[in-house]
Amino acid sequence: MMNMDANIPAIELKQLSCSIPVPDGIKRLLRGIELTVAPGEWLGIAGTNGSGKSTLAKAMAWLIPPASGEVLYRCDRVHTAGPAQETEAGTKPFVQMIFQNPDTQMLGETVYEDVCFGLDNYGFPVADRHRLAMDALERTGLAALADSPARFLSGGQKQLLHVAGCLAVQPDVLIFDEATAMLDPLSRQRLLQTVRQLHSEGTTVVWITQLMDELSECGRIVAMDEGRIVFDGSKEAFFYGESGAVFSGAAAGDEKAQLPAVLWEDGSEPSSAASAAKAGATVSAAIPGAGVSVTGPDAAVSAADPAFPPESRGSTDAMIGKTSAAAEDKKPPLPVCEQLGFPLPYAVRVAQAMIRQGCTMHPLPFTIEQLGKAVNL
């Protein structure tokens, strides 16, 4: 694995858009994505079916070319819109991707042959292939099954085999596209344990999922909806409403532009910001009590919106943490996770209930194990 400067992004996407032809025209799958992935980061990407998260993953791995925009890799390979570029023989890939269905990714008759496929495909020296293949199998716990038929492995073992195949070619970034979706709980935990170990050794991980409890491993979470990034922030902000999160509205003038709804616990909306954005106004506003910023291209807010006082307009930074008089007598807003339609993990729901009863928890728990430790402190 190459030694990367921590100050330079492992992957950077600039105004990335992807489209496909459909009978009545062009369907946009990704819309102006701006995203960076830091070296050694574990980035979680969440989204419902059709939100664009898998398309984003494939674009990051350069499996599909963008319609516009750029994909930049830290290893100085810069991809712009156009035909996919071939990797030179013998050059290790920067990114590898593990898909959802274990049975569609097998290419070798035996476990060993399957791992060797990538080494052959990328032109690694013949003298190094056996060592690299067996090292990858050792790291994933499959070395004892090297001569076994790959088709006889369990679903979890097949996913670990695909991880081994990716590890053998020594990428810097591993992307997992709902890799646990078709696994039983035990196989799922075994895969996550392997990924934790790889991450601790310096591998950059992009983890795509609809299972909220899996995001506890991530240092940062991105949420997708209708081909856009609608949330980019910490897991504390995502699950508990702590500061450090940003909602990003679409550009002004886009007829389909609409900021994610900000809902109070009683179901009402604190302002007409989303309506203003849809009408073409640029919007930037803080979600009261959550330290969350809703931003558009500018820092202006509709003057007709009573939820945001005049002194808070014009500066996003000045607005973070402010509350309006109209919202003071209402309950705190729902966590960002729930605003986006995802269920909270059980440990987070229990922790929130305890916090409402006056308990103090630091750090905030995301798993049952972390909750147990927080309660016993």
Give the pLDDT of residue 159.
92
Residue bearing the bigger pLDDT, 153 or 280: 153
Residue-averaged pLDDT of the chain: 77
Residue 166 pLDDT > 70: yes
Give the pLDDT of residue 3.
54
Give the separation between CA 110 and CA 98, rounded to whole angstroms. Answer: 19
Contacts of 273 (CB under 8 A, 6+ apart): 259, 262, 283, 285, 294, 301, 302, 305, 307, 308
Element (H, E) at 133: helix 126-139
Residue 66 pLDDT > 50: yes
pLDDT band at 293 (very low <50, low <70, confident <90, very high): very low
Give the separation between CA 188 and CA 180, rounded to whole angstroms. Answer: 5
pLDDT band at 78 (very low <50, low <70, confident <90, very high): low
Give the separation between CA 140 and CA 165, rounded to whole angstroms. Answer: 10
Burial 286-295 (b: 16+ CB within 10 A, else e): bbbbbbbbbb
Residue 28 pLDDT > 70: yes
User: Which amino acid, 157?
Assistant: Q
Give the pLDDT of residue 263.
41
Residue bearing the bigger pLDDT, 220 or 267: 220
Task: Identify which of 36-45, 285-294, 306-315 has the greatest average pLDDT.
Answer: 36-45
Determine the average pLDDT of the residues in 252-278. Answer: 38
Give the pLDDT of residue 206.
97
pLDDT band at 218 (very low <50, low <70, confident <90, very high): very high
Q: What is the DSSP letter of 124?
A: -
Least confident of 14-18, 149-153, 186-190, 276-280: 276-280
- SS3 of residue 208 by DSSP: strand
Contacts of 358 (CB under 8 A, 6+ apart): none
Cβ proximity of 101 and 176 under 8 Å: no
Residue 312 pLDDT > 50: no
Give the pLDDT of residue 203.
94
Determine the average pLDDT of the residues in 117-125. Answer: 91
- SS3 of residue 82 by DSSP: coil
Give the separation between CA 74 and CA 62, rounded to whole angstroms. Answer: 14
Cβ proximity of 35 and 233 under 8 Å: no
Element (H, E) at 16: strand 11-22
Give the pLDDT of residue 8.
87
Give the pLDDT of residue 356.
87
Kind of pairing, strands 204-209 and 173-177?
Answer: parallel
Give the pLDDT of residue 324.
42
Give the pLDDT of residue 299.
36
Give the separation between CA 14 and CA 9, rounded to whole angstroms. Answer: 12
Give the pLDDT of residue 283.
31
- φ/ψ of 310, rounded to 5, equals -55, -35
pLDDT band at 374 (very low <50, low <70, confident <90, very high): confident
Contacts of 173 (CB under 8 A, 6+ apart): 10, 11, 37, 94, 95, 96, 203, 204, 205, 206
Determine the average pLDDT of the residues in 138-159. Answer: 93
Element (H, E) at 28: strand 25-37
Give the separation between CA 347 and CA 182, rounded to whole angstroms. Answer: 23
**Which residue segments constitute the domains of the chain, with CATH numbers given?**
11-221 (3.40.50.300), 241-327 (no CATH), 345-376 (no CATH)
Percent of the chain with pLDDT over 90: 49
Give the separation between CA 313 and CA 299, rounded to whole angstroms. Answer: 7
Contacts of 3 (CB under 8 A, 6+ apart): none
Least confident of 122-131, 190-199, 268-277: 268-277
Give the pLDDT of residue 362.
82
- How many Cβ atoms are within 10 Å of 199's Cβ, its own excluded? 19
Give the pLDDT of residue 268.
45
